[in-house]
Amino acid sequence: MLRDKPRFEVADILQKHHHQIPKLTANSWQARTLYAIAACRTSVLGGHVDKCSNKSCSHVHISYNSCRNRHCPKCQGNKRDLWIQAREDELLNVPYYHIVFTLPDQLNKVALYKPDLVYNLLFKTAWSVIRDFADNPVFLGAKTGMIAVLHTWGQNLSLHPHLHCIVPGGGITQARRWKNARGRGKYLFPVKMLSKVFRARYVAALRKEISVSQEMAKALFANPWVVYCKQPFAAPQHVIRYLGRYTHKVAISNHRIIDIAGDNVTFSAKDYRHGNRKTTIKMNQQEFIRRFALHILPKGFVRMRHYGILCSSKKGEIIPELQRILGKPEVHLSPVEIAHRICPVCRKGTMMTVMVFSGRGPPPKELLRIMAG
Structure confidence by residue, pLDDT tens digits, 142-196: 999 999 999 999 999 999 999 999 999 899 999 989 998 887 667 789 999 999 9
| Predicted pLDDT at 252 | 95
Strand-by-strand arrangement of the 227-229 sheet? 227-229, 96-102, 159-168, 145-153, 304-308
| Predicted pLDDT at 360 | 61
298-309 pLDDT, tens digit each: 999 999 999 999
User: Residue 176 CA to chain centroid, in angstroms?
Assistant: 33
Q: Is the pLDDT of residue 116 over 60?
A: yes
344-365 pLDDT, tens digit each: 888 888 888 888 887 665 566 6
Amino acid at 266: T
40-63 pLDDT, tens digit each: 998 888 888 888 888 888 888 888
Average pLDDT over residues 312-320: 84
Report residue 251's pLDDT band, with 50, 70 and 90 as the boundaries: very high
Q: Closest by alpha carbon to 355, among 43, 67, 61?
A: 61
Q: In this predicted structure, which of 116-125, 129-138, 267-276 has the lowest mean pLDDT?
A: 267-276
**DSSP code for 204:** H
User: Residue 149 CA to chain centroid, in angstroms?
Assistant: 6
Average pLDDT over residues 99-117: 95
Cα–Cα distance for residue pair 168/303, rounded to 1 Å = 20
| Predicted pLDDT at 1 | 43
DSSP H helix total and E strand total for the chain: 12, 13
| Predicted pLDDT at 338 | 46
Average pLDDT over residues 6-29: 95
3-state helix, strand, coil in the chain (%, to 5): 40, 20, 40
Average pLDDT over residues 249-276: 90
Cα–Cα distance for residue pair 337/345, rounded to 1 Å = 17
